[in-house]
């Protein structure tokens, strides 16, 4: 049975699943939104790059649609946490965890076969903002180990023709995302902004690009986290599913 380290703890992920998190590798609302935005279909082969604690692939597994799930992270501790989550939840098939650099996946994951690739990437270019103290935080928040071009190049190799790359990012990086995708052969197809509530500026953007697709961009209606009275919006209640109920029962 998996033994948690002193800095690790279990958090509920709905009624029937738990996830191992730590201060180095937690998860946020942005990852939950990305898992939903990716819109996994029955039989999809999917991969989450820079998976951290594995919140996105665990939510996919909980959804029950993916045929096979891969999760990649360059940090050994992140992979260890996810493997502990798999053991605790009794997940033994259809789910692989790779401690690897997303820029060097040749021979690790078969190229040209995946339907969906996702990443919740580092939001800040190197040399901007206040750099985080720990190495884990630097890798997660700053483009020290990979940038948008690296992500797109890796996804391009992994995806089948017509497969999609989905990511979340800060709205101020939208031009960078579009440029990296188009230059890398993944055409931006779908964009959705996320705001805390009506009247607030977006704090997140969700972007989908397709491998080899022709130009045509759809901007979806804005997603609001909260109603004006502070309660969760109807759409967030759908996205959270039974996650909130799991929190109450923890």
pLDDT in tens, 2-61: 799 999 999 999 888 999 999 999 999 999 999 999 999 999 999 999 999 999 999 999
Buried b (16+ CB within 10 A) or exposed e, 151-182: bbbbbbbbbeeebbbbbbbebebbeebbebbe
Residue 145 is predicted with a pLDDT of: 66
Tell the burial category of 127 from Cβ atoms under 10 Å away from its Cβ (0-12, 13-18, 19+). exposed
Least confident among 79-83, 135-139, 197-201: 135-139
One of 2.40.10.120, 2.40.50.140, 3.40.50.150, 3.40.718.10 is the CATH number of 8-242, namely 3.40.50.150
Q: φ and ψ at 232, to 5 degrees?
A: -65, 140
Question: Is the pLDDT assigned to residue 245 strictly greater than 80?
Answer: no
Residue 14 is predicted with a pLDDT of: 83
Whole-model pTM: value is: 0.90
- pLDDT, tens digit, 9 for 90 and up, residues 96-124: 999 999 999 999 999 999 999 999 998 76
Residue 225 is predicted with a pLDDT of: 97
As given in the structure block, the two tokens for residue 24 are 């180095």
Least confident among 84-98, 140-154, 181-195, 225-239: 140-154
Instruction: Quote the mean pLDDT of the chain.
Output: 91
Least confident among 14-18, 27-31, 211-215, 233-237: 14-18
150: nearest Cα among 170, 126, 121 = 121
Question: Is the pLDDT assigned to residue 93 strictly greater than 90?
Answer: yes
């Amino acid at each position: 049975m998996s033994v948690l380290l002193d800095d690790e703890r279990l958090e509920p992920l709905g009624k029937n699943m738990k996830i191992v998190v730590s201060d180095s590798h937690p998860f946020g609302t942005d990852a939950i939104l990305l898992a939903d935005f990716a819109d996994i279909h029955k039989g999809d082969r999917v991969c989450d790059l820079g998976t951290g604690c594995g919140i996105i692939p665990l939510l996919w597994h909980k959804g029950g649609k993916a045929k096979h799930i891969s999760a990649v992270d360059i940090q050994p501790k992140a992979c260890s946490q996810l493997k502990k989550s798999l053991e605790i939840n009794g997940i033994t098939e259809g789910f692989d965890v790779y401690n690897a650099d997303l820029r060097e996946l040749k021979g690790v994951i078969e190229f040209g076969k995946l339907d969906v690739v996702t990443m919740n990437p580092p939001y800040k270019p190197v040399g901007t903002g206040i750099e985080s103290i720990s190495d884990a935080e630097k890798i997660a928040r700053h483009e020290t180990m990979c940038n948008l071009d690296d992500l797109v190049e890796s996804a391009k190799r992994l995806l089948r023709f017509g497969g999609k790359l989905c990511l979340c990012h800060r709205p101020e990086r939208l031009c960078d995302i579009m440029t990296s995708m188009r230059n890398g052969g993944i055409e931006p197809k779908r964009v959705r902004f996320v705001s805390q509530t009506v009247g607030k500026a977006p704090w997140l953007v969700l972007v989908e690009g397709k491998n080899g697709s022709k130009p045509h961009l759809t901007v979806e209606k804005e997603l609001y986290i909260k109603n004006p009275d502070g309660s969760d919006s109807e759409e967030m209640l759908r996205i959270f599913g039974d996650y909130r109920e799991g929190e109450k029962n923890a």
